[in-house]
Chain A
Amino acid sequence: MGSAVRALEFRDPARGRALARTLARLTQEIGRNPVSVMHVCGSHEQAIARFGLRASFPHALEVIMGPGCPVCVTDLPEVDEAVALALQGVRVATYGDIVRVRGTARSLADAQAEGGRIDVVYSVTQAIELARRSDEEVVFFATGFETTAVATAAALLDDPPPNLSILSAHKFIPPVMEIVAEMPATRVEGFLAAGHAATITGSAIFEAFVAQHGIPVVIAGFEPLDILAGLARLLELIRDGMPRVANMYPRCVTDAGNRVAQERLWRVFRAVGGCWRGIAHVPNGNLRLRDEWAARDARRRFRIDLGRAVDGTPHTLAPQCICGDIMAGIASPDRCPLFGTRCTPQSPVGACMVSSEGTCRIWHEYGGHPDLGATA
């Protein structure tokens, strides 16, 4: 039995247990309690939760999910803009995850119920097909980190139909790490960086951050052993007081990254400061279309009238939602009074329970209690 499991070299529990023992030893050698490290990626959290890795971490090791869910950090006014466009009669195409996330008063799903036209797409390519088949104006409400921003950029460079424009809510991860590193409440001693984003940016992009903050960064992949090995390397660097960048995902990530993708990204986008929901103003954290692409920029192509979009009352439970603290890594979902009871995937209060990349959604999907080490 389980022959297929054993054929997958990345799913070897014996190696996993050996790495867990290494984590315990390193945490003890560091000698602090807790030792807090942060990752900034929904896919890392999914793997940690799916494989129950937290139960194998030493108690003194805190692995926190930071602002790694692009849908969750999309700010209220960005959602409001998309809602307003939909209510103005513009067809809005976007990823399914964001449709149920509320802006100030409404979500895109609410806008749809009020007659707006929302199309859920799985990629920007589908939005382009939609525009090609239609005479109407189609706005692609583009969310996601640099990984998906590259896809949006490539699509624009590929001469899409004239009725397609972009409402960019794309975010750029490296700057937010600076913000979180400086938050007094988080006490982050090291970062686990997302392997897929680093395939584009390259590992070298983190050198300046490490030099400035004196915090090590380890790039890791998404199989359980990738994560355990990445954490072990991170703890070694913390123990040795050696702030540096270590690439533990060399099968995909190079020092320089994907230069073609970077070139396309920056030909279309520029980094500007902006608010991330629940976090803070992040200098250079938002990706907006460059001036050359003004004709494709929904913010300049349409007069967005926020009036109706923001008219209404927020969710009655919203004041109790601690999504902001969760995204900043200050609190975990089980600290939220609403988690799993009044806030569930069927009836979400905060964005973290809506998106499949959100910490709360992931915890809920995999049982909500990360630490089961004591069970027989």
Chain B
Amino acid sequence: MTKARIELRHGAGGGAMRALIERVFVDGAADEARDGRLGLAAMDDGAAIPLGDRWLVLTTDSHVVQPVVFPGGDIGRLAIAGTVNDLAMMGAPDVLALTCAVVVEEGFPLADLERIQASMRATCIEAGATVVAGDTKVMGRGELDGIVLNTSGVAITDRVIPDSGLHAGDVLIVTGTVGDHGLAIMAARHGLALEGALRSDVAPLNDLVRHALAAADGTVVAMKDPTRGGLASALHEMAAKSAVGIVLDETEVPLTAEVRAAGELLGIDPLHVANEGKAVLGVRREAAADVLAALRAHPLGRRAAIIGRAVAERRGSVVVDTGFGRRLLVEPDGEPMPRIC
């Protein structure tokens, strides 16, 4: 395997990426079980370390996106929301602090950097978070493509929610429409004339999650944000880690008319593309209605919907009920490519 090289699909959020991480990074991280911490081997949205009878949750994420400014957001908003959401997905919506490292290419317009910074600040205010430490590096022209932002975050919570907590019978709720971010980026990147109607959903979800958890009283058992790889990858991961099957009711998955049309036109399944302002919650069946109502009462959760359930059969698989029949949902391998350029 000495000839093997990193390919783009290794970063696309699907099975290839998990295999790479397991092989290169997780292998050898042997101090996992110590003090019950949730570390690299759990491959969750973040780590959780016991702190007395509470948990310290921490996470880090590097952000690259082309174009840097896209319909509905920019890389600054993405970098703050991404890390805040990773903390929230661990059950830790109250952000203690964030850090931000910027690596920028020589020649990058200062005005763009200022705009990104303003966007980060605005998103922090929205999320009730602050950046308390930072770092800036400049690299030569051509040594990177524009700008890379890395954000880390810490938070404290009483109860960690892993993405592996589903049991047969639990209900799956998505907090709103899916596919918006990925298709908006794709349309912008390929110069498709559809872009006006498509907007990224990028947003910090911690306030929404706080509301849902308050209504749930311990009945939210699993959470994940369906970023790269889309809802398909998120459900696959939840099914595999929880050792349950998942049945997805495709006709219940909320989609905007624009995403539906763009998906049909480009031959891209909205279930396979990234979201940056949505979460999937696994909820005990008896509490599903209450959690759904709490989500829908929040501005970011108005189109929340029950989209499926965990079952005891077909562990590790996701079955799609299309309304006409059933099939297995496949995880995307690599970035979905539009049928036309």
From A224, A364, A370, contact of B324 by CB (8 A): A224
The answer to whether A52 touches B320, judged by C-beta atoms less than 8 angstroms apart, is yes
Within 8 Å CB of A346, what residues of B? 9, 333-334
The answer to whether A372 touches B327, judged by C-beta atoms less than 8 angstroms apart, is yes
The answer to whether B320 touches A2, judged by C-beta atoms less than 8 angstroms apart, is no
Among B3-56, those with CB < 8 Å from A are 9
The answer to whether B327 touches A16, judged by C-beta atoms less than 8 angstroms apart, is no
Among B112-161, those with CB < 8 Å from A are none
Query: Which 9 residue pairs are nearest across A and B when measured between Cβ atoms?
Result: A367-B328, A13-B323, A52-B325, A52-B327, A372-B326, A55-B325, A56-B325, A16-B324, A55-B326
Residue of B nearest to A364 (CB): B330
Rounded to whole angstroms, the CA-CA distance of A17 and B325 in the bound complex is 9
B257 interface contact, C-beta 8 A: yes
Chain A nearest CB, measured from B308 CB (Å): 12
Rounded to whole angstroms, the CA-CA distance of A122 and B314 in the bound complex is 40
Interface residues as binary, A48-89 with B (CB distance below 8 Å gives 1, 0 otherwise): 011111111000000000000000000000000000000000
Rounded to whole angstroms, the CA-CA distance of A224 and B312 in the bound complex is 29
The answer to whether B328 touches A369, judged by C-beta atoms less than 8 angstroms apart, is yes
Within 8 Å CB of A11, what residues of B? 323
A-B contact pairs, 14 of them (CB 8 A): A1-B252, A1-B303, A2-B254, A13-B323, A13-B324, A16-B324, A50-B322, A55-B325, A364-B330, A366-B330, A367-B320, A368-B330, A372-B327, A375-B245
Interface residues as binary, A299-320 with B (CB distance below 8 Å gives 1, 0 otherwise): 0000000000000000000000
From B313, B319, B322, contact of A51 by CB (8 A): B322
From B253, B320, B326, B340, contact of A373 by CB (8 A): B326
Rounded to whole angstroms, the CA-CA distance of A300 and B211 in the bound complex is 73
Within 8 Å CB of A370, what residues of B? 327
A113 interface contact, C-beta 8 A: no
A-B contact count (CB 8 A): 90
From B312, B328, B341, contact of A366 by CB (8 A): B328
Residue of B nearest to A120 (CB): B341
Interface residues as binary, A11-30 with B (CB distance below 8 Å gives 1, 0 otherwise): 10100110010000000000
B293 interface contact, C-beta 8 A: no
Interface residues as binary, A341-376 with B (CB distance below 8 Å gives 1, 0 otherwise): 000011000000000000000001111111011011
Within 8 Å CB of A52, what residues of B? 320-322, 324-327
Residue of B nearest to A224 (CB): B324
B281 interface contact, C-beta 8 A: no
Within 8 Å CB of A372, what residues of B? 319, 325-328
A4 interface contact, C-beta 8 A: yes
The answer to whether B326 touches A375, judged by C-beta atoms less than 8 angstroms apart, is yes
Counting contact residues on chain B (CB < 8 A from A), the size range is 20 to 34
Within 8 Å CB of B247, what residues of A? 375-376
Within 8 Å CB of B66, what residues of A? none
A5 interface contact, C-beta 8 A: yes
Rounded to whole angstroms, the CA-CA distance of A366 and B303 in the bound complex is 27
Rounded to whole angstroms, the CA-CA distance of A368 and B257 in the bound complex is 29
Residue of A nearest to B257 (CB): A4
The answer to whether B257 touches A13, judged by C-beta atoms less than 8 angstroms apart, is no
Among B84-135, those with CB < 8 Å from A are none
Within 8 Å CB of A373, what residues of B? 326
The answer to whether A4 touches B324, judged by C-beta atoms less than 8 angstroms apart, is no
From B251, B303, B319, B334, contact of A5 by CB (8 A): B251
From B251, B305, B327, B329, contact of A55 by CB (8 A): B327
Rounded to whole angstroms, the CA-CA distance of A88 and B261 in the bound complex is 44
Rounded to whole angstroms, the CA-CA distance of A349 and B96 in the bound complex is 53
Chain A nearest CB, measured from B315 CB (Å): 12
B311 interface contact, C-beta 8 A: yes
Within 8 Å CB of B314, what residues of A? 375
The answer to whether A376 touches B326, judged by C-beta atoms less than 8 angstroms apart, is no
Rounded to whole angstroms, the CA-CA distance of A17 and B324 in the bound complex is 7
Rounded to whole angstroms, the CA-CA distance of A194 and B299 in the bound complex is 47
Rounded to whole angstroms, the CA-CA distance of A367 and B329 in the bound complex is 6
* Contacts A2-B253, A20-B324 supplied; 11 other A-B pairs, CB < 8 Å: A5-B251, A13-B251, A13-B322, A50-B322, A51-B324, A53-B325, A55-B325, A122-B341, A346-B334, A368-B328, A368-B330
